[in-house]
Structure formats: C-alpha cells, structure tokens
Amino acid sequence: MSAHEIAVHVLVWTAVAAELVCCIGIVAARDVFARLHYSAAASTLGPTLVAVAIAVEEGVRSIAAAAALVVAVLLLLGGPAVTIATARAARARLER
C-alpha cells in the first residue's frame, strides 16, 4: 500500500469515525442543546475530511475534487447558520 493510499484511507476512516460519534452522540445526549453540538460537528468535520481525501485521490485540479470542495464549503458555512437558527427556535419554544 503506497503512502498516497494510506493517506486516503486515514482521511476517509477519520471522517467515518467522526460521523459515527455524531450519530451515537445525538441519541445519547440529554436535551436539544446538547444534541445540537453533534449535529454541528457532523456538518463540519466529516465533509471537510472527505473533500481532502477526494482531492488526494483524484488530484486538486479534478472536477470531483472541485465539487467535493464546494459541498464541504457549503456545509461548513451553512451548518453553523442552521445550528444557530435551530438553537434560537429551541430557546423560543422553551420560553413559551
């Protein structure tokens, strides 16, 4: 196995491990605000690592790497916005 393949495997399985932790954590968390932490982490860490893995596999200038990078950036920018909006909604419902 070459260094290139090892790098891809490490990146992909780290991303999968991060998503698995988020999937288990969201069920184990006690309330909605604790659950939001796992939801936010799932939309930032995993997609970024997979986009880097695809860039390593296909080359930085490939179409697949560009598309994966756009997906990762969309999730990176959108994830916190959705998390904040959901936290505001949860607080408003709590105060009602």
Partner 1 sequence: MNVWLVAATVLLFALVLPFSLLARAPRIDALVALELVSAVVTLVLLLLSEGFNRSIYTTVPLVLAGISLVSGLVFARFMERRV
Q: Is 66 helix (H, G, I), strand (E, B) or coil?
A: helix
The angle formed by the CA atoms of residues 69, 71 and 72, to the nearest 5 degrees, is 65
On whether the CB atoms of residues 69 and 51 are closer than 8 A, the answer is yes
For residue 46, give the amino acid letter: G
Residues 6-65 that bind partner 1 (CB under 8 A): 8-9, 12-13, 15-16, 19-20, 22-24, 26-27, 32, 35-36, 38-39, 42-43, 46-47, 50-51, 54, 57-58, 62-64
On whether the CB atoms of residues 76 and 52 are closer than 8 A, the answer is no
Contact residues toward partner 1 (CB under 8 A) are: 8-9, 12-13, 15-16, 19-20, 22-24, 26-27, 32, 35-36, 38-39, 42-43, 46-47, 50-51, 54, 57-58, 62-64, 67-68, 70-71, 74-75, 78-79, 81-83, 85-86, 88-90, 92-93
